[in-house]
């Protein structure tokens, strides 16, 4: 396993997990969005951009390509007054949140990257936060890890989460699992997610995610749901 792969690998995301999910068929599967899907309510919906940061792009080759469509999703949400929140990896100087021997984030500490306020922690310019948008930093893989994201969503009355990001097998998978367990209704924008392993991305977006989320394309979200 190379440095790039190890940085974003999820220990629970093994070939066995993917195979078991894929073979589960429709058991427990939530229905995909119907052609007559109602528009999402801006008062109870939020769009989350996940790890769409300059430093992440450098670790996950090919991820730059998602931003043509991702920027359209963000623009559509802003136009409809749907709140957009930006969640990314970020640490204080000195990395007090990470033990030096942490199996994954110890490497982040050693790299000197993702200190809040530095270039690597900045969000991609095409979806960068506006002055009134909330930025939340997390210290592990899930968007909910070690921060007040859930508190903010509950305070705003949010029940539906629309999200995308890098990588599919990292923050997107972990966030979906936790958000579903927290009883949020989840929508994943499949073609605005990217993974270093194309087959892992395919299996997750076509077989695994559908058990806990509605999986749609950027076009479908913009035209039919937003």
Tokens of 123: 């969000």
Which residues in the chain show pLDDT less than 70? 1-37
Residues 30-74: pLDDT tens digits? Answer: 444 444 468 999 999 999 999 999 999 988 999 999 999 999 999
pLDDT at 24: 42
Q: Kindly report the pTM of this predicted structure.
A: 0.85
Closest by CA to 54, choosing from 84, 24, 97, 89, is 89
Q: What secondary structure does DSSP assign to 68-131, as a single string?
A: HHHHHHHHHHHHTT--EEEEEE-B-TT-TTS-TT-TTHHHHHHHT--BTTSGGGSBPTTTPPPT
pLDDT at 58: 85
**Structural domains for the chain:** 38-225 (3.40.50.850)
pLDDT at 112: 94
- Stated as kind and residue range, the H or E segment containing 153 is helix 149-155
179 near 191, Cβ under 8 Å?
no
């Amino acid at each position: 396993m190379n440095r790039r792969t190890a940085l974003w690998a999820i220990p629970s995301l093994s070939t066995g997990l993917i195979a078991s999910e894929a073979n589960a068929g429709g058991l427990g599967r939530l229905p995909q969005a119907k052609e007559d899907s109602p528009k999402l309510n801006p008062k109870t919906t939020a769009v989350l951009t996940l790890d769409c940061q300059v430093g992440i792009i450098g670790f996950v080759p090919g991820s730059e390509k998602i931003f043509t469509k991702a920027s359209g999703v963000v623009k559509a949400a802003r136009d409809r007054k749907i709140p957009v929140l930006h969640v990314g990896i970020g640490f204080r100087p000195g990395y007090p949140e990470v033990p030096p021997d942490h199996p994954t984030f110890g490497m982040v500490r050693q790299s000197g990257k993702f200190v809040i306020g530095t270039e690597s922690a900045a969000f991609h310019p095409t979806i960068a936060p506006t002055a009134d948008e909330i930025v939340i930093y997390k210290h592990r893989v899930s968007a909910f890890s070690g921060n007040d994201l859930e508190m903010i969503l509950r305070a705003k009355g949010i029940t539906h989460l629309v999200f995308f990001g890098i990588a599919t097998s990292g923050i997107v998978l972990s966030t979906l699992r936790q958000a579903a367990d927290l009883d949020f209704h989840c929508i994943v924008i499949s073609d605005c997610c990217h993974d270093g392993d194309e087959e892992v991305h395919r299996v997750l977006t076509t077989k695994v995610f559908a058990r806990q989320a509605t999986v749609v394309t950027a076009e479908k979200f913009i035209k039919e749901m937003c």
